[in-house]
């Protein structure tokens, strides 16, 4: 058995919600302070079934290019905040299902960091489903960061 220290990996699910900024900043600060890394997961919706396979392949390719562009912007933020490139995960399917699958498959992930939405509709579908149905079965701690935190508040708690 190795005595080498294992990096703590903080997983953030990348989407296009405003609260992503808060989850990412929190995860970066925690990773930097603990000598860990940040991992980013982007889940692409599968294309609708097509009559022609080549159309489905083209749609998949376009979705992947979009995903890589979105993740690239956030990866640059991770490098600026932590000094290390993030670990990148791209999946296709349902967001919750792919997140749970990744947590099961990748033993290097130490903490799942999600930010709660700030709107009147609640914390968001991913946070709601994870907390209500799966929190007790996760093999890693779940950190839910209020999506309304300011940078100063994030610094104070991380």
Note if the pTM is more than 0.85.
yes
Q: What DSSP element (H or E) covers 87? A: strand 87-92
pLDDT at 38: 98
The CATH number of the domain holding residue 38 is: 3.40.50.620
The answer to whether the CB of 99 falls within 8 A of the CB of 93 is no
Q: State pLDDT tens for residues 21-31.
A: 999 999 999 99
Which of the four pLDDT bands, split at 50, 70 and 90, describes residue 107?
Answer: very high
4 domain residue, yes or no: no
Residues facing 145 on adjacent strands: 115
Q: How far apart are CA 36 and CA 83, in angstroms?
A: 11
**Total number of domains constituting the chain:** 1
Domain range for 118:
9-157
3 domain residue, yes or no: no
68 domain residue, yes or no: yes
């Amino acid at each position: 058995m190795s005595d080498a220290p294992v990096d703590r990996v903080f997983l953030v699910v990348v989407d296009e919600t405003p609260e992503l900024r808060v989850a990412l900043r929190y995860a970066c600060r925690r990773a930097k302070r603990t000598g860990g890394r940040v991992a980013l997961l982007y889940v692409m919706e599968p294309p609708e079934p097509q009559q022609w396979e080549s159309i489905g392949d083209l749609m998949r390719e376009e979705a992947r290019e979009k995903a890589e562009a979105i993740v690239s912007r956030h990866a640059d933020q991770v490098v600026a905040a932590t000094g290390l490139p993030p670990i990148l995960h791209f999946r296709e399917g349902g967001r919750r299902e792919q997140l749970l699958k990744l947590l099961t498959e990748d033993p290097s992930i130490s903490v799942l960091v999600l930010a709660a939405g700030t709107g009147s509709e609640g914390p968001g579908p991913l946070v709601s489903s994870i907390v209500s149905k799966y929190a007790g079965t996760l093999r890693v701690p779940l950190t839910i960061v209020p999506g309304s935190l300011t940078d100063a508040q994030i610094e104070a708690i991380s």
